[in-house]
């Protein structure tokens, strides 16, 4: 096949190694910004990937996993409950109001809250025996119409709706900035997000999560205060294009 398959290539492409490499990138980026790497969590984004990949990452010590699709996420949560009991599940995809019940009952975190109606439904549907659902407000920082998220000027109103709800805990902000290799654009958008996060924190001092940074831009995100990077392809390899969110 001409593929350079040898011992070294094999070792470099295991999930455990790529996970360690992602952790190393986080450590380096934190150091570069004089931050404590322990203040930055790694969320492993396992969408479209099989349970065996999640189990491999779990065996290597990973505990936070992110899923984008309600049905796929629900299946994985249920199937992995006994083999990976310590997983903390994060929902990071767009959520329609008719599917809120699954997220309210199966997940620990929800990163993509951008409507009052969804917040109220999640609060109503969160089972009493579970701790409040941790939520982040998704901000559309680039203003691209194709992207979900509120505009920055809607932030405080949505935060004011969420804050009093007993079964939700407002943890912070999440964003998916413009996909670009242009460093200046990345910096500008991350800077705006950091400013918004500080504004939110001024009114709600308990918020502690700025969910931003992915495989290609985690260094810039960490330089601008990210506390949770969401890493998919750098750990699990490329996804099938048609399934990429």
Ligand X SMILES: *Cc1c(COP(=O)(O)O)cnc(C)c1O
Considering only 92, 104, 168, 193, the residue that binds ligand X (CB under 6 A) is 92
Does residue 232 belong to the site contacting ligand X (CB under 6 A)?
yes
> Least separation, in Å, of the C-beta of 47 and ligand X?
6
Q: Is 95 helix (H, G, I), strand (E, B) or coil?
A: coil
> Least separation, in Å, of the C-beta of 231 and ligand X?
5
Does residue 23 belong to the site contacting ligand X (CB under 6 A)?
no
> Least separation, in Å, of the C-beta of 202 and ligand X?
26
* Token representation of residue 23: 């952790």
> Least separation, in Å, of the C-beta of 243 and ligand X?
10
* DSSP class of 88: E
Give the residue among 61, 47, 44, 27 at the shortest CA–CA distance from 231. Answer: 44
Does residue 135 belong to the site contacting ligand X (CB under 6 A)?
no
Within positions 158 to 197, which residues make up the interface with ligand X, using CB under 6 A? 176
Question: Is the CB of residue 107 less than 8 Å from the CB of residue 137?
Answer: no
Does residue 45 belong to the site contacting ligand X (CB under 6 A)?
yes
Does residue 230 belong to the site contacting ligand X (CB under 6 A)?
yes
DSSP class per residue in 20-80: HHHHHHHHHHHHHTT--GGG-EEEEE-TT--HHHHHHHHHTT--EEEE--HHHHHHHHHHH
* Token representation of residue 232: 């998919």
Query: Of the two residues 111 and 121, which places its CB atom closer to ligand X in the complex?
Result: 111
Q: How wide is the angle at C-alpha 50 spanned by C-alphas 49 and 52, nearest 5°?
A: 125
**For ligand X, which stretch binds (CB under 6 A), given 13-21, 34-42, 128-136, 213-221?**
213-221
Q: Which residues form the interface with ligand X (CB under 6 A)? A: 45, 47, 68, 92, 176, 214-216, 230-234, 245
């Amino acid at each position: 096949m001409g593929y350079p398959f040898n011992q070294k290539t094999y070792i470099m492409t295991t999930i455990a190694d790529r996970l360690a490499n992602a952790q190393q990138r986080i450590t380096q980026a934190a150091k570069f910004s004089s931050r404590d790497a322990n203040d930055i969590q790694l969320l492993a984004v396992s969408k479209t990937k099989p349970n065996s990949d999640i189990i491999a990452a779990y065996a290597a010590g990973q505990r936070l996993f992110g899923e984008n699709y309600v049905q796929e996420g629900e299946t994985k949560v249920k199937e992995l409950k006994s083999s990976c009991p310590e997983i903390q599940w994060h929902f990071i995809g767009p959520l329609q109001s008719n599917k809120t019940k699954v997220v309210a009952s199966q997940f620990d975190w929800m990163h993509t809250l951008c409507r009052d109606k969804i917040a109220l439904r999640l609060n109503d549907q969160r089972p009493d025996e579970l701790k409040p659902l941790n939520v982040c407000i998704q901000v559309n920082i680039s203003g691209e119409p194709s992207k979900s998220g509120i505009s920055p000027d809607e932030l405080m109103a949505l935060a004011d709706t969420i804050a009093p709800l007993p079964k939700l805990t407002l943890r912070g902000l999440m964003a998916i900035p413009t996909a670009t290799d242009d460093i200046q654009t990345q910096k500008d958008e991350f800077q705006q997000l950091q400013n918004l996060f500080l504004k939110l924190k001024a009114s709600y001092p308990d918020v502690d999560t700025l969910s931003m940074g992915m495989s290609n831009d985690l260094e810039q995100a960490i330089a601008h205060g990210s506390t949770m990077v969401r890493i998919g392809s750098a750990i699990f390899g490329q996804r099938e294009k048609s399934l990429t969110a």
